[in-house]
Amino acid sequence: MCGRYTLHTRDRIELRGLSFAPRYNIAPSQDVLVIADFGGGVETRSLTWGLIPSWSTDGKAFINARAETLEERPSFSESFRLRRCIIPASGFFEWKRSGKEKRPFYFQSHTHATLAFAGIWDTWSQRGRAITSCAIITTPANDLVGELHDRMPAILLPEVQHDWLNPRTDRVALLRMLQPFPASQMKLHPVGSGVNSPENDSADLLLAVEAEVGQTLSLF
């Protein structure tokens, strides 16, 4: 699962009139930047994080979609075929349980490069209201993330990002792109509990804090 991430640089993101502000604690139901071909060529738009399928009668939203079942789940299959997107991110958070508490950790590229989360999008309309929304695709965790959680965002390598957005790309090739991102290209550090509240959004949330003695030593 990916339930919280950051985007604090606009590296390689063409905004074309969209405003940009660094964000350090992006949460479900919030508006997020998404890159996709919305029918007139690839562009960046602001969508709601939490995919509502166009046919939904109850407006239920899905923040994540498992790569292994994209073609099987009615909520995701059509969007996977027709409406793929990239959700840029600077990094993401996961939590490790310690007794009764969960300790947050921040994952990012070891070079601090912007990550390209694979995603899908759709537009839901009801009673004159339309919401265009997205979900982050997840894969099994790599060895680094796996110390904390069994899932992680599907992160597209630079060489396949164009093909991911190309509507003519073969489905087999698309599924091959959805592999766990190499652990050797990532790093992590523990952060403070301020990130637990989506109301908090400042650069201080990414500051490393000292791990308790005996905790998470296998991560370092």
Amino acid code (one letter) for 133: S
* Domains observed in the chain: 5-219 (3.90.1680.10)
If you search the block for the tokens 């091959």, which residue do you land on?
A: 176
Burial class (CB in 10 A: 0-12, 13-18, 19+), 43: middle
Q: What is the mean pLDDT of each run of 10 residues along the chain (220 residues)?
A: 93 90 98 96 97 96 98 97 98 90 95 97 92 98 96 98 97 97 97 96 96 41
| Residues in contact with 131: Cβ distance below 8 Å, sequence separation at least 6, in sequence order | 48, 52, 123, 124, 125
CB 156 within 8 A of CB 118: yes
Distance from C-alpha of 62 to C-alpha of 43, rounded to nearest angstrom: 23
Distance of CA 166 to the CA centre of its chain: 19
- How high is the pLDDT of residue 213? 35
* Backbone CA torsion sign across 162, 178, 37, 31: negative
The residues that are catalytic are: 2, 94
Distance from C-alpha of 177 to C-alpha of 157, rounded to nearest angstrom: 8
Give the predicted TM-score (pTM) of the model: 0.94
Pairing of strands 129-140, 64-66: parallel
- How high is the pLDDT of residue 220? 31
What would the two tokens of residue 47 be? 């969508």
Of the CA atoms within 13 Å of residue 59, those in its CB half-sphere come to 9
